[in-house]
A = this chain, B = another copy of it.
């Protein structure tokens, strides 16, 4: 079997090795409007925390005994975000596996297990962790993982269980046989989303656990089960990996083979069907960050129980969760609300209705609203842009280009662009010319002129772009050359987004 990485022979740690496999592909709509399809909750730093859930997961995994660098499995549409967030914590992953489509967790785990076996040998262990969960107590987490590794080494698939603290009807539960003094438990049955009465009973039951969505297994063992239980899925997964394109540490899975994988969770595909499954209880302050009320678990509430972030003014207000991204949010005489302000959307929900935010986002998606998809700040391989103002004949963007980065060579049929440099230095290609601009300088790109923007310096290049013209649709872009391989309409979002309308933030790919 060919694998783009096998020739690299990574250094093997003596004894058993644990490879953290971080599943970062979720969409997390229940934390809308902060979480968007283009920047889902795993990439957010919530409740005043410094690091995103994804970053916390990466950092936490480093504390495990005999651990390898993590393997990230994420969506191809988040590649720049993953890259950026790893760079922020100065963390070098083993590799980043990019999925060209959503196929639930079984294909991701199949490919990760295969990749772990290829890289570290068939008896290396994989610890699968969702990137969008929170764990307070790293020490307890590490202890549970180390204990589970002993069990997994012997050939069991080990799932991690959380003692229920409330009668959640939306979670999956795992019923175990009595402990008989052992830490690791024998699984009796999986119970998905029980009714309220049953869930209530489980809270008091020492032998029933929440399924935390974390699994530890020897790569060869998972591959055996997958081969036996889901042979078609396994074959497609293998082809997706063999056909993958390598781009640095990025592994872009073969689209056709990956799309051929059936969409199914690893729970349904293997864990609930295998006969070699065990459960390791974990008491580490786990939370699935399933809605805004997650913030109620964090400290830093005021005397009246309000948890606020950003520019918030309260008057006679109790037990609210308030997040302001930029503007003043003032509350008066209200309680138990979730209020979230972002550049393009505001949410006001009752805490009891926190789960329904998901439905709200579905409604937005069915209306084709940009607010479901993007935050106003859109990340690109070269940096980011924000649409800051628009009218019938103009649109203004703030653009930030990373040191050394370069936008595509492009042209517009219907709009002129004015660039004003407010920080850093730009190299501009315009028609046949090439010249440099620094702070306080500006240039003009007439309609139909090919142009390119580049940051040759060591600090970010910040500029204001004023687009002017009768038609400012995002589809008016012709790409000639792109260092990130996006020539013509290879970027899905460039093709998907329609013309900008004044009633909605035009936020899709442009530059």
Q: Which residues of A contact B (CB under 8 A)?
A: 33, 311, 313, 315-316, 324, 327-334, 337, 339, 341, 343-350, 352-353, 356-357, 359-360, 363-364, 369, 371, 386, 388-389, 391, 393-394, 396, 398, 416, 418, 420-423, 439-442, 444, 446-447, 462, 464, 466, 468-469, 503
Minimal Cβ-Cβ distance residue in B for A470: B439
Minimal Cβ-Cβ distance residue in B for A469: B440
- CB–CB A466/B468 < 8 A: no
User: Given A315-B359, A416-B440, A394 and B346 touching (CB < 8 A)?
Assistant: no
- CB–CB B337/A348 < 8 A: yes
12 more A-B residue pairs beyond the given contacts A393-B423, A418-B464, with a C-beta to C-beta distance below 8 A: A315-B356, A315-B363, A316-B356, A332-B350, A333-B353, A348-B348, A389-B464, A393-B422, A393-B462, A394-B423, A422-B466, A440-B447
Chain B residues with Cβ below 8 Å from A388 are 388-389, 396
- CB–CB B468/A420 < 8 A: yes
- CB–CB A33/B330 < 8 A: yes
Number of copies: 2
CB distance from A444 to the nearest CB of B (A): 6
Chain B residues with Cβ below 8 Å from A418 are 418, 420, 442, 464
A383 to B391, CA, bound (A): 17
A274 to B13, CA, bound (A): 99
Minimal Cβ-Cβ distance residue in B for A447: B440
- CB–CB A330/B416 < 8 A: no
- CB–CB B332/A357 < 8 A: yes
CB distance from A419 to the nearest CB of B (A): 10
Chain B residues with Cβ below 8 Å from A333 are 349-350, 352-353, 356
User: Given A442-B442, A469-B440, A329 and B348 touching (CB < 8 A)?
Assistant: yes
Q: Which of B341, B371, B466 contacts A346 (CB 8 A)?
A: B341
A447 to B439, CA, bound (A): 12
- CB–CB B396/A396 < 8 A: yes
User: Given A389-B396, A444-B442, A422 and B346 touching (CB < 8 A)?
Assistant: no
Chain B residues with Cβ below 8 Å from A386 are 389
A334 to B360, CA, bound (A): 13
Q: Which of B327, B334, B364, B396 contacts A345 (CB 8 A)?
A: B327
- CB–CB B394/A313 < 8 A: no
User: Given A388-B388, A439-B393, A331 and B348 touching (CB < 8 A)?
Assistant: yes
- CB–CB B468/A371 < 8 A: no
A389 to B395, CA, bound (A): 13
- The 16 listed contacts between A and B (C-beta, < 8 Å) are A33-B330, A313-B360, A315-B353, A315-B360, A329-B348, A332-B350, A332-B360, A333-B349, A339-B346, A388-B389, A393-B439, A396-B398, A421-B468, A422-B466, A439-B468, A440-B444
